[in-house]
Structure 1
Amino acid sequence: MSFRKYQKVLAIPRVLPATLFMFVAGLPLTIMTLTLSLHVLNEMGRSYFDAGVVATATALGFAVGSPLLGRKIDSHGLRPVVAVSGTISTVAWLGLPLASYPVYVCLAFIAGVFTVPTGSLARQFVASLVPEDQRRPAYSLNMMLMELGFVIAPATGILLITSYSATATIVGIGVWRAISYIVLYKLNWPTRSLDEAAQKIQRVRPKLRTWMSGPLLSAMFVSAAALFVLYGTELALIAVLRSNGEIAFTGYVIAAMSVASITGGFVHGIVRRSWSQARLALAMSLLLLPVALFDQVWWWLMLALLPTNLLCTPTLAAGSEAVAKLAPSDVRGEVMGLHDSAYRIGQTLSAPLVGFAIDSLSPAMGFVAAASGGLVLIGMAALCNLWISTPKTLASKRHRS
């Protein structure tokens, strides 16, 4: 194993600048919900329920907007979408600090809908710039940077909020994103490869039934399962450390989890063969189950979480690779947007269900709930794949006979 696979990918024209730029442009999005919620709590003086409503509105906005903007990119290209949605999103962000609570909720939803999805767009750039046989290290690198972003941005965001205010941080996020849109508009990286663009003389969008296959829908469910497990794990971790009076060690445990995830992603990108997305997600879920037995001391818990976190980035990278392979170039933006929505759905489902297990049973049972939810979604992915693929298989057999 060596760095050679990564070197080959980064040597492809425009891959390195596109990867680094999308990483930097997407950093504020990792603290978007946190900042909006703290503004409601601190500056508005409202309740945690009100903050939760804002978080839900933002998540729904992202879930709706990602496939919608992806579809518009497929139809009209990158620049018109960045120009229109970037303007609306920037106005919404800059208007948030001035709004009353009902308007604030609406603006949070609008900001989510029209925020250009950095993650799905980065994955789309990889699919258009990188040959299929080199995408695994490219997506592994993409996910390693995303994991690094989740380490850097929240700590920086909390520092800015405590040093200044959530209001100032909201304005800063709006300005950061506005600058990102301007740069993205100017650079205008391709969303299709040269061969795909040459083959597509008349752009007629194919119907949903022609591209929403069983394997593609299955990959979406597995992606949702991965995010369910990851966010449920973080929630259970905080609950356990808080109940033990060891909340001060949260940073150490999360740092170790992130290092393990990045390490696993690096290995995934350079090995000759790796597991499939479903197999990685299944192993990640199963390895989380015994963590509930190691909830007595923070460093036991940290060590117990390392195996499942080693598979975090590989699972996400394998999901991106699978979706890119299954998505036709004519609807790649929409498919990548749906993939982004699958992540959001998994994240959104995880918080209340794992939280219910923590409140009803024990903090440690949060890990079991997170793993169980992941296993249920993986099972649904398998059933969905079988259910959709079987009629086509039977029809093919009848046709041959």
Structure 2
Amino acid sequence: MTRSSSYPVVDVLRTRHTGYLLFTSLLGRLPGAMAALAIVQLVRSTNGDFGFAGLITAVYVVAGAVGQPLLGRLIDRFGQVAILAVSGILSFLAFTGMALMLDPLPGVAVVLAAAAGVFTPPLEPALRALWPRLVTPGPQLKAAFSLDAGAQEIIFILGPLLTVVGIAVFGPVGNLLCAGGLGLVGALAFILNPAPRAASARRRSHVTAHLGIRSPILIPAVARVAVFTFGIGVPVGALTIVATASEAARSTDGLAGWLLAVNALGALVGATVVGIRPLGSTPARLLTLCGMLLAIGYLPLSATALPTWAFVVAAGISGLMLPPTLGQVFERISQLSPAAALTEANGWIVSAMTLGIGAGTLVAGVVVGAAGTSVVTWIVLGASALTALVSLVALPSKSVIAPQSAASRSAVG
């Protein structure tokens, strides 16, 4: 038993296994932040077709969104160790094949990109299924989910940087192999920890219980949280286009990178604040409020006439509410989903966020491509309005406000 401190996030990091699992999970998730840029750069080094680069990257992203809940369901049935090991190996092999086949056989490379996405090890939902086992409910669990969401921002800071370094050191092909290798190493290191192995042993003893459980996405309250998560992903995805368009409009080289980096820094600040002082109410009551605040946080970016330094500050403000909001999402899912289907439930949430980000990027890109950089204001306003509207979906009915009791969760676990 670790001695309690006045800061829940410190208690989480002091808890046995948590630091190791968080680090190895983040290591294994790095391909998700590296692959898009790595694939585009590899295509440019071969045939240079941006259209094909967009196609193969989209195939990889969408396949990943499909694979996470499917692999999560397999984890809930067979345990984390086997599924994470097998998926890590298959994803690495697919990355390798894609890198080697892209030039001579681009059609095969597209298929392998889909395989690399589908078999992406579901480390994100796997870790979130372990948090309720590792830390005590209440402030510590809230802090753990917020820490997880904030640490994810580190991936999106390091991912592009590692891609640049990887291309310089290993070349475009070697860089993509490196990205796949990091995913495999992270997955294998994760399952070496006793916690995933203990969860897998327990899961194998409850296989028959899992067979009678329907997919958690069919639970209306879980589906509403997934829709909510899609909604908060839209402005996150649109920000990439907003940053790029703002750089072009202001003729300021490198501005897009600074905007995205400061946005991630703002998210880290938000995660740190709620890690030290977790939000006091229940996630059922906080989801809509957090979603509304996140939408409001993006509004300063609609003021395109701001001085450049103020626009950069606005990018930081827009990131503040993302980890607190995602923390509420993860905690709510842990309450709503049956214990025996918790990994799959988290997989659906990961997919919803991925699709929301993809939709935001796609729509914003199409609008800017058709109307020019002058529409940035309307893109920000539209994305924020959609997030605020979808946040209303998370308002709970009286029948789902109370979290599941420990007895009801253990009965299905």
TM-score (structure 2 length as normaliser) = 0.85
Deviates more, 1:24-33 or 1:62-71: 24-33
Note the 1:309-348 alignment, pairs <5 A.
309-348=319-358
Deviation string 1:281-321 (CA, Å, 9 cap, x unpaired) is 21221232342223453212112233222112212222222
- In the TM superposition, residue 63 of structure 1 has moved relative to its aligned partner by 1.1
Contact 2:296 2:384 in 1 (8 A): no
* Partners of 2:82 and 2:26 in 1: CA distance: 22
* Partners of 1:227 and 1:157 in 2: CA distance: 23
Report the residue type matching 1:76 in the other structure.
F
Contact 1:221 1:377 in 2 (8 A): no
- In the TM superposition, residue 390 of structure 1 has moved relative to its aligned partner by 9.4
In structure 2, what is the equivalent of residue 399 of structure 1?
A: none
Residue correspondences, number: 388
In structure 2, what is the equivalent of residue 124 of structure 1?
A: 129
**Partner of 2:236: helix, strand, or coil?**
helix
In structure 1, what is the equivalent of residue 224 of structure 2?
A: 218
Deviation string 1:251-294 (CA, Å, 9 cap, x unpaired) is 33333322221111111222253572321221221232342223
Deviation string 1:10-38 (CA, Å, 9 cap, x unpaired) is 22221121112212222232111211122
**Partner of 1:165: helix, strand, or coil?**
helix
In structure 1, what is the equivalent of residue 31 of structure 2?
A: 28
Contact 1:128 1:190 in 2 (8 A): no
User: Is residue 18 of structure 1 aligned with residue 21 of structure 2?
Assistant: yes
TM-score (structure 1 length as normaliser) = 0.87
* Partners of 1:176 and 1:329 in 2: CA distance: 30
- In the TM superposition, residue 175 of structure 1 has moved relative to its aligned partner by 2.4
In structure 2, what is the equivalent of residue 397 of structure 1?
A: none
User: Is residue 280 of structure 1 aligned with residue 318 of structure 2?
Assistant: no
Report the residue type matching 2:293 in the other structure.
A
Contact 1:69 1:334 in 2 (8 A): yes
Computed over aligned residues only, the root mean square deviation of the Cα atoms, in angstroms, reads 2.9
Contact 1:73 1:81 in 2 (8 A): yes
Structure 1 residues 38 and 201: CA distance shift in structure 2, 3 A: closer
Structure 1 residues 359 and 273: CA distance shift in structure 2, 3 A: same
Note the 1:2-401 alignment, pairs <5 A.
4-42=7-45, 44-99=46-101, 100-133=105-138, 134-187=140-193, 189-190=195-196, 200=206, 202-208=208-214, 212-274=218-280, 276-363=286-373, 365-376=375-386, 378-380=388-390, 382-383=392-393
Report the residue type matching 1:37 in the other structure.
V
Report the residue type matching 2:240 in the other structure.
E
* Partners of 1:384 and 1:250 in 2: CA distance: 32
* Partners of 2:82 and 2:121 in 1: CA distance: 12
Structure 1 residues 69 and 198: CA distance shift in structure 2, 3 A: closer
Deviates more, 1:55-64 or 1:214-223: 214-223
* Partners of 1:272 and 1:107 in 2: CA distance: 42
Contact 1:291 1:305 in 2 (8 A): yes
